[in-house]
Amino acid sequence: MDAGLAELAVSGSPFPWLSLIVLLPAAAALMLPLVPSSEENPSPAPKIITLVVLLVDLLLMMGVFATRFDPSTEGLQLVERVSWLPALGLEWSLGVDGLSAPLVVLSGLVTLLSVAASWSVQRKSRLYFALMLVQASAQGLVFLSQDFLLFFLAWELELVPVYLLIAIWGGQNRQYAATKFILYTALASLLILISGLALALSGETFTFNLTELAARSPGGSFGLLCYVGFLIGFGVKLPMFPLHTWLPDAHGEANAPVSMLLAGVLLKMGGYALLRFNVQMLPEAHATLAPALVILGIVNIVYGALNAFAQDNVKRRIACSSVSHMGFVLVGIGAVDALGISGAMLQMVSHGLIAAAMFFVTGVFYERTKTLSIPNMGGLAKALPITFAFFLASSLASLALPGMSGFISEITVFLGITSQEAFTSVFRSITVLMAAIGLVLTPIYLLSMCRRVFFGPRIPALASVADMRPRELVIGLSLLVPTLVIGIWPRVAMDLYEASTNALALQFIAS
């Protein structure tokens, strides 16, 4: 344990790259109010500054991970530890491993693209883009923080921009949706905090350091209690049945770029935190409760899919499809073998890209049609063929078409659950059967949506509407090309985290 700590201290990089990645957007956010802009004559400066900062940040992430991060080792790398508030035991402690690296890059990419997708936001644009930047910092901190208190502060901090982004720039029912979002997540946060504090207080020394907490790995009913607290807390974000009902409301009201953030980044925090806390810190409790996770996962998959089929609003339907797809993350985590956890990781990355793409394209045609109600649409393809191509491509990706990332991630989860010897064969059979039913339901609700929105005779009212512009094309391709690349050559993503997920799974084989 102490040896491990010493090693961590030694391996700390001389330059705080991770802090730079995390703090750069926040620093830029502080600058934005100084940019002159008015409601009547909004200046393009805020969005350009935001875009450039986030692009630099993304390049920085990729550069740092490519050159200074060794994916073949499992432990934390680029560790930075600075005591911040010793009275509280709060440390500025960052580090990256295979679990965080892919998600950091994913969130960097999705945030950048969602800013690019916000090009037409005029109202209070300085505040809007400043919130986007704060959000970027907060989510980076969530994925990189190695101190529980710091993690928790970041977790809470990220709620504020999302809440305001929904509440100010949302649709008709934005107040309701935003409040529901904040109520759900804030109440859930209390459970996270209580569990985390309990863990911190449980040992001989008081510490918030995640590595030290993980080394304690308390078992028994105490461990189980903490586990359940975390599970509910993170389950809201994932979202996990029955805590998912905030999601369709939030997506239904948020504008498309914020939906991209919600689906592409926020949901992934839930999955990441489950891996980081529930699996890594409380392996004993996880081994006990894994079957429950698997069951919740298949409920998510089937229940989410059925809900999606009945939704009449494009964004609410995609939101329910997110519930369904995130069920695979739960099943994968519950499978507790290398394949399952690997599948869960890949599903997070894959769903982040695909759901962001779907919401983005939805935003593209919403700007042109001003409606999201499926029964009131039809025949869009004649007017917007390229938009149709993108929506169809993302739908196909979402229904786990091979060659796209969704297939390899879901099949890995399937293989993970199939090869988990610890479960009885009946349990495994039923799980695989139910999850496969989800695979049949997905094309039903996605393709019927495509049919009802895009297929059919031309609509005269849309004759003069322009199809996707170059900016929109670039955004769409930036999401779909990675989906394809991972789908064709999954090791691009898998090699990044394989060492870490294998190590996580090894815990359970040993115990």
Partner 1 sequence: MPSAEELAWLIPVLPLFGAVLTGLGLISFNRTINRLRKPVALLLISCVGAAAALSYSILFNQLNGAPPVEHLFVWASAGSFVLPMGYVVDPLGAVMLALVTTIALLVLVYSHGYMAHDKGYVRFFTYLALFSSSMLGLIISPNLLEIYVFWELVGMCSYLLVGFWYDRDGAAHAAQKAFVVNRVGDFGLLLGILGLFWATGSFDFQGIADGLQNGLTAGTVAPWAALLLCLLVFMGPMAKSAQFPLHVWLPDAMEGPTPISALIHAATMVAAGVFLVARLDPLYAQFPVVQTVIAVVGTITCFLGASIALTQMDLKKGLAYSTVSQLGYMMLAMGCGAPVAGIFHLVTHAFFKAMLFLGSGSVIHAMEEVVGHEPVLAQDMRLMGGLRKKMPVTSITFFIGCIAISGIPPLAGFWSKDEILGQAFNSYPLLWVVGFLTAGMTAFYMFRLYFLTFEGDFRGNDTAMQAQLLTAVGKDPSEHHAHGGSVHESAWPMAAPLAVLAVPSVLIGLLGTPWNSRFAGLLNPEEALEMAEHFSWGEFLPLAGASVAISVAGITLAVLAYALRRIDLGRLVAGRFPAVNAFLANKWYLDVVNEKLFVRGSRKLAREVLEVDAKVVDGVVNLTGLLTLGSGEGLKYLETGRAQFYALIVFAGVIGLVVLFGVIGGPIA
The answer to whether 461 touches 109, Cβ cutoff 8 Å, is: no
Q: How far apart are CA 410 and CA 340, in angstroms?
A: 9
Does position 6 interact with partner 1 (CB under 8 A)? The reply is no
Please, which residues bridge with residue 145 across strands? 94
Which of the ranges 211-219, 253-261, 300-308, 349-357 carries the binding residues for partner 1, by CB under 8 A?
300-308
Of 280-299, binders to partner 1 (CB under 8 A) are: none
Of 382-421, binders to partner 1 (CB under 8 A) are: 382, 385-386, 388-389, 396, 401-403, 407-408, 411-412, 414-416, 418-419
Of 454-473, binders to partner 1 (CB under 8 A) are: 454-458, 467, 473
The minimum distance between CB 225 and partner 1, in angstroms, equals 16
Q: How far apart are CA 69 and CA 168, in angstroms?
A: 39
Of 354-383, binders to partner 1 (CB under 8 A) are: 379, 381-382
In 217-326, where do the E strands start and end?
Answer: none
60 vs 432, beta carbon nearer partner 1: 432
- Distance set, CA 324 to CA 223, 375, 469 (Å): 29, 23, 31
> Token match 């995130």: residue?
326
Q: How far apart are CA 336 and CA 237, in angstroms?
A: 21
CB count within 10 Å of CB 106 equals 25
Does position 439 interact with partner 1 (CB under 8 A)? The reply is yes
> Token match 């049609």: residue?
369
Which of the ranges 125-133, 281-289, 358-366, 431-439 carries the binding residues for partner 1, by CB under 8 A?
431-439
Does position 307 interact with partner 1 (CB under 8 A)? The reply is yes
Does position 45 interact with partner 1 (CB under 8 A)? The reply is no
The minimum distance between CB 87 and partner 1, in angstroms, equals 6
Q: Which of 225, 430, 437, 485 binds partner 1 (CB under 8 A)?
A: 437
SS3 (DSSP) at 96: strand
Does position 443 interact with partner 1 (CB under 8 A)? The reply is yes
Does position 422 interact with partner 1 (CB under 8 A)? The reply is no
Q: Which of 27, 82, 292, 310 binds partner 1 (CB under 8 A)?
A: 310
Question: What element of type H or E holds 146?
Answer: none
- Per-residue interface string for the shown chain with partner 1, residues 130-149, x marking contact by CB under 8 A: -------------------x
Of 196-215, binders to partner 1 (CB under 8 A) are: 197, 200-201, 205-207
Q: Which two tokens stand for residue 402?
A: 């091979």
Does position 171 interact with partner 1 (CB under 8 A)? The reply is no
Q: How many chain residues bind partner 1 (CB under 8 A)?
A: 103
CB count within 10 Å of CB 387 equals 22
Does position 494 interact with partner 1 (CB under 8 A)? The reply is yes
* Residue 459, amino acid: I
Of 237-256, binders to partner 1 (CB under 8 A) are: 241-243, 245
146 vs 207, beta carbon nearer partner 1: 207
Q: Which two tokens stand for residue 204?
A: 């001989």
Contacts with 85 (C-beta within 8 Å, 6 or more apart), sequence order: none
Q: Is the dihedral of CA 476, 478, 479, 480 positive or negative?
A: positive
Does position 16 interact with partner 1 (CB under 8 A)? The reply is no
Of 328-347, binders to partner 1 (CB under 8 A) are: 337-339, 341-343
Q: How far apart are CA 486 and CA 400, in angstroms?
A: 12
98 vs 140, beta carbon nearer partner 1: 98
The minimum distance between CB 173 and partner 1, in angstroms, equals 10
Q: How far apart are CA 288 and CA 225, in angstroms?
A: 12
45 vs 499, beta carbon nearer partner 1: 499
Task: Return the exposure string of 350-375: e unless at least 16 CB atoms fall within 10 Å of the residue's CB, then b.
Answer: bbbbbbbbbbbbbbbbbebbeebebe
108 vs 235, beta carbon nearer partner 1: 235
Please, which residues bridge with residue 85 across strands? 90
Which of the ranges 59-67, 97-105, 155-163, 354-362 carries the binding residues for partner 1, by CB under 8 A?
155-163
